[in-house]
Structure 1
Amino acid sequence: MTTQTLEKPAKIAMNGVDVPTFLATLGVVGETPQIAQFTFRANGEWLSGTHSRTAFPGFHGAMQEMQHRRDYAVESDHPQVLCGEDNGVTPVELLLAALASCITAGIGNIASIRQVKLHAVDTKIEGDINLNGILGLDKTARNGFTGIRMAVSIRGDAPQEKLREIVEQSVARSAVFDVLSNGVPVSVELAG
């Protein structure tokens, strides 16, 4: 037996993820943990009625100020049935999108690290809300979601058990799932 037969094959880029660079990044962060401290930002602007636009002016990460490669913004509004003009999705729908996106991104990364070729990942997510709380009509009704359900469909070149493990690890490592499940301190102050 030679040394070559004992070595594991090098991991390759897969599913649109540059696995060698991802692994190198993990190594650097392991050696210098403060690189992992990030602060993300979003700046909201009221447009009219319930319509607003939120831009993402950059973030602090990897120990420096950084910019996205282009400007991003999302618009939000309420549907007409809720006295809006339906110029965008509701803020709570954006929250559902954030959860679906975070879990899906994690699946892509984890599958790639494990060298599992993905064929499809689809998520369906729903959140239940009783608007009587927001409207101030029922002091016992919660303002936010009372429950969120997400179904993940995943197909790839691995047994179903391994695909399920990938989904489970993505949920366990999801920042958005963590915030929704465990809460996070939020402060609001009147500026200027």
Structure 2
Amino acid sequence: MTTQTLEKPAKTAMNGVDVPTFLATLGVVGETPEIAKFTFRANGEWLSGTHSRTAFTGFHGAMQEMKHRREYDVECDHPQVLCGTDNAATPVELLLAALASCITAGIGNIASIRQVKLHAVETSVEGDVDLNGILGLDKTARNGFTGVRMAVTIRGDAPQEKLREIVEQSVARSAVFDVLRNGVPISVEMAG
């Protein structure tokens, strides 16, 4: 009688995710937890009316200052019905986009780690705002969203239950979902 050792096949890159590097990163962070502390930055400027631009050039992460491959920026504005010039999406729409993007990125990573080939991931997010709060007309009305709803459609080479587990894990690990669900301390001060 012979004894054979069954080896698990090595996980491979999938869905555009470099799984071996991802797993190696998890190992490094497990050994050196402080490497996981990041500070992201955004620098905004007013353009005109309700139109603004925010740039993202660098961040602190992996225990050092880092720069993006190039500078990124986004613009925001309000639609004409809200006294803007409708030159860009509203800030609250970017918040919805951040939620959709964070959940989608998590799905891509988690599916890849689990070696599930994805065919499509689509999200639909909407949030309700009562402008009476923002406009100062009703002190009991909240300024921000009163509710956010998100629908995720996912197709891949796995049973529906496994795809559901991937979405649920992505939501459970999403930084943007966490901030929206649990809030975060924010300080605002006048500079210069």
TM class by shorter-chain length? over 0.9
Q: Which has the higher strand share?
A: 2
In the superposition, the TM-score normalised over structure 2's length comes to 0.98
Extract unaligned runs of 5+ from structure 2: none
Counterparts of 1:170 and 1:98 in 2: how far apart (Å)?
Answer: 14
Of all paired residues, the percent bearing the same amino acid is 88
Q: Secondary structure at the match of 1:143?
A: coil
Q: What's 1:89 paired with? A: 89
Aligned position for 2:54: 54
CA contact (8 A) 2:129 2:144 kept: yes
Cα deviation, residue 57, structure 1? 2.0
Report the count of equivalent residues.
190
Root-mean-square deviation (Å): 0.5
TM-score (norm 1): 0.98
SS at match of 1:69: strand
Runs of 4+ in structure 1 off by over 3 angstroms are none
Structure 1 segment 28-177 matched on structure 2, within 5 A: 28-177=28-177
Separation in structure 1 between the aligned mates of residue 191 and residue 71 of structure 2, nearest angstrom: 24
* 1:2 aligned residue: 4
Q: What amino acid maps onto 1:25 in structure 2?
A: T
Query: Which residue pairs with 1:15 in the alignment?
Result: 15
Whether the 8 Å contact between 2:35 and 2:62 is mirrored in structure 1 is yes
Equivalent-residue separation in structure 1 for 2:106 and 2:150 (angstroms): 15
User: Cα deviation per residue 1:11-38 (whole Å; 9 max; x = unaligned)?
Assistant: 0000000000000000000000000000
- CA distance in 1: counterparts of 2:179 and 2:150, whole angstroms: 16
Runs (5+) with no aligned partner, structure 1:
none
Q: What is the CA distance between 1:2 and its match in structure 2?
A: 2.1
- The aligned amino acid for 2:96 is L
Q: In structure 2, what is the Cα distance between the partners aligned to 1:81 and 1:145?
A: 19
